[in-house]
A and B are shown apart, each in its own frame.
Chain A
């Protein structure tokens, strides 16, 4: 205690002159300029313009909550929110489950060299350009010579072939599972890393007590991974709820509005209808939903947690 006080005193004595005191702020100056211009100003102006009828000519006047009222009268917009909910839930649950199962399986490989090879096998495909992933899945779903239909024909289930993205009954589910089995993700890498960080004592104790592997997973692994699991869930959910790529690349929101989601709707309203104010209002709604999600996840992270004060 005493010693650390002393050390701190000597530190501050070294830092006495002014140039040293302002050094960190000088280092932060370029960061501040970049973030203020390209993050803060656009964020605040988006909120501001959501209350205006801003258009592509740059003209705008305040219209209050008009944009929001119009959006909630808009049947299409309401359905985009439901689609977003479905899409985000499927992706979050599926990604977490599959990545966790794969991480547990890789962890059960005791040989560190072989384990590293499995990690590399699942991490490598992460570098494929993401738009390519969607294009490839579009090819999987294609009605003529698509992989899924060809596979169904090959195993004699010709009756089940269908235009997966071309009909509203399957299109949303189809884009939701793009990327299956979701192992080649950051989630997998974070989970395996966290699982390796669990102390061996804890695992061996559980084994000595005669617990099964399944029991260890539920009693030791899952509680220990609470923080990374919630963190990854939030990350995947925030990313999914802003999705525009499946629509831009594959469905254009169709058929009808079966796969339309707020992100792509915003893009359409802004750059096809040139209604910038309305687009900003959609953005603000996405922001609010995101903030609610972040709030819930923070609450879940700390509620009754044993690992924080």
Chain B
């Protein structure tokens, strides 16, 4: 049991154990990516020396394409999701208008519609809209799922802002567009940050939609590319794991900088 002086050694030992189980597969991934096939059989569980960076050079050509694709799709989705979440959250959070509750319900109810239900109609729809095999066909359907929670978060955010700020600006002669651009957006940045991170995680992880939508494997984002990669390079573990590490790095690096803000953002909801 913990005392008032902050001693909690047994608890931390259990936590350490949980952390090791959580992290070990990632460490294994890194150590294996730095091995030749012989080193892999020599020492299975831990790093071996010298490190073999060759694996990364071999896979980089293929994997860099997937990473660029993912960045491209994520950025597009991010722009759409942030814009629409901001507009929706702002409208619901700051204004009182007729039918507001019904409209909000109509948005939030979508959380209960499973994505898999719409897989086939959405596929046919994007095809008919001429968006199959294009990034637009990736961006807009995914954004449709992500903005629901985005609008929810941004509404909470705007409701907590003091209304005096907007009154003051309006008395100074600002119109609605100026209010949105120069008062609401700067104040909303922390909320938008949380939405952006959730959105990035969602987009990077989406697997089913690119498999259904894209017939060209060169257009695959990392989530789908690693699977085709695994099926082709079954033999050489070093190459495979180098590819796995490479696709994990971009978000990891980004997350190192924003993880504290992300935790605070979740606390704010």
Contacts and interface: CB of A to CB of B under 8 A. Distances in A.
Nearest to A133: B25
A287 B97 CA distance: 32
Q: Which of B6, B116, B151, B260 has the most C-beta atoms of chain A within 10 angstroms of its own C-beta? A: B116
A34 B147 contact: yes
Contacts of B4: 110
A238 B116 contact: no
Given A34-B84, A49-B121, A125 B26 contact: yes
Contacts of B143: 34, 38
Contacts of A219: none
Contact of B114 (A34, A121, A131, A242): A242
Interface string B97-123: 100100100010010111111111111
Contacts of A16: none
B14 A124 contact: no
A159 interface: no
Interface stretch (A62-70, A71-79, A168-176, A263-271): A263-271
A280 to B, nearest CB: 6
B226 interface: yes
A42 B11 contact: no
Interface in A261-309: 263, 266-267, 270-271, 276, 279-280, 283-284, 286-287, 290-291, 294
Q: Is the interface of A mostly helix, strand, loop or mixed?
A: helix
Nearest to A182: B22
Contacts of A180: 21
Contacts, number: 248
Nearest to A128: B248
Interface in B120-165: 120-125, 140-141, 143-145, 147-148, 151
A58 B127 CA distance: 12
A178 to B, nearest CB: 11
A39 interface: yes
Contacts of A37: 125, 140, 144
A258 interface: no
A96 interface: no
Contacts of B224: 131
Nearest to A136: B25
A58 B226 CA distance: 33
Interface stretch (B54-62, B88-96, B185-193): B88-96
A130 B207 contact: yes
Q: Which of B11, B45, B201, B256 has the most C-beta atoms of chain A within 10 angstroms of its own C-beta? A: B11
B60 to A, nearest CB: 17
Interface residues of B, number: 89
Nearest to B13: A105
Interface in B164-202: 167, 170, 176, 180, 201
Contact of A120 (B170, B208, B259): B259
Given A25-B97, A126-B201, A43 B19 contact: no
Q: Give me the 8 closest cross-chain CB pairs, A-B, nearest first.
A: A38-B144, A283-B117, A110-B6, A42-B118, A24-B95, A42-B121, A24-B91, A27-B91
Interface of A: 14, 19-21, 23-25, 27-28, 30-31, 34-35, 37-39, 41-43, 45-46, 49, 58, 98, 102, 105-106, 108-111, 116, 118-132, 135-137, 140, 145, 147, 150, 180-181, 183-184, 186, 189-190, 193, 196, 212-213, 238, 241-242, 244-245, 248-249, 263, 266-267, 270-271, 276, 279-280, 283-284, 286-287, 290-291, 294
26 contacts: A23-B95, A27-B88, A27-B91, A30-B84, A37-B140, A39-B113, A39-B118, A106-B15, A109-B15, A121-B19, A122-B18, A123-B262, A124-B256, A128-B26, A128-B248, A129-B205, A130-B207, A131-B223, A140-B25, A147-B28, A181-B18, A189-B263, A242-B115, A248-B227, A280-B117, A291-B112
Given A31-B91, A122-B22, 15 more contacts: A14-B167, A20-B176, A38-B143, A125-B22, A127-B251, A128-B26, A132-B247, A136-B25, A150-B44, A266-B116, A267-B208, A270-B119, A276-B120, A279-B119, A283-B119
